């Protein structure tokens, strides 16, 4: 097909469009990443102040929310600090444990699938 043929009326564009089929690929479905809960466990040695400090600095919780989580850990024996994709949860667990050890606290922090 030449543009001059179309302009001169020697080529039927509408016939060409009827004979042409557009094939589209289905979009691949993207799975949401699996989320993990980061859990603080109570012990008799880690101070409440340290737990609040870690929740504020590593988990970016406000003072009120950090205190709520800390009290849950203290009263119930455990508390969820947050829910994150695996890599972020692993990083936060490692950073929390490292800081706890540096300051001499035996704080136990784990993660589990939501």
pLDDT at position 10 over 70: no
CATH code (residue 76): 3.30.1390.10
pLDDT mean over 73-94: 98
Residue 22 lies in a domain: no
Predicted TM-score (pTM) of the model is 0.73
Of the pLDDT bands very low, low, confident and very high (cuts 50, 70, 90), residue 111 is very high
Domain extent for 87: 35-113
> Comparing 99 with 8, which gets the higher pLDDT?
99
Of the pLDDT bands very low, low, confident and very high (cuts 50, 70, 90), residue 93 is very high
Residue 1 lies in a domain: no
Residue 26 lies in a domain: no
**Token couple for 36:** 């993990």
Output phi, psi for 61, to 5 deg.
Answer: -90, 150
Distance separating alpha carbons of residues 71 and 81, to the nearest angstrom: 12
């Amino acid at each position: 097909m030449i543009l001059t043929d179309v302009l001169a009326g020697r080529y039927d564009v509408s016939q060409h469009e009827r004979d042409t089929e557009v094939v589209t690929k289905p979009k691949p479905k993207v799975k949401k990443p699996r989320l993990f809960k980061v859990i603080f466990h109570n012990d008799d040695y880690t101070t409440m102040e340290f737990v609040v400090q870690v929740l504020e600095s590593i988990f970016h919780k406000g003072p009120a929310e950090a205190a709520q989580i800390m009290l849950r850990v203290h009263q119930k024996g455990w508390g969820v600090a947050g829910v994150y994709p695996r890599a972020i949860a692993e990083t936060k667990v490692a950073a929390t444990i490292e800081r706890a050890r540096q300051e001499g606290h035996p704080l136990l922090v784990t993660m589990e699938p939501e």
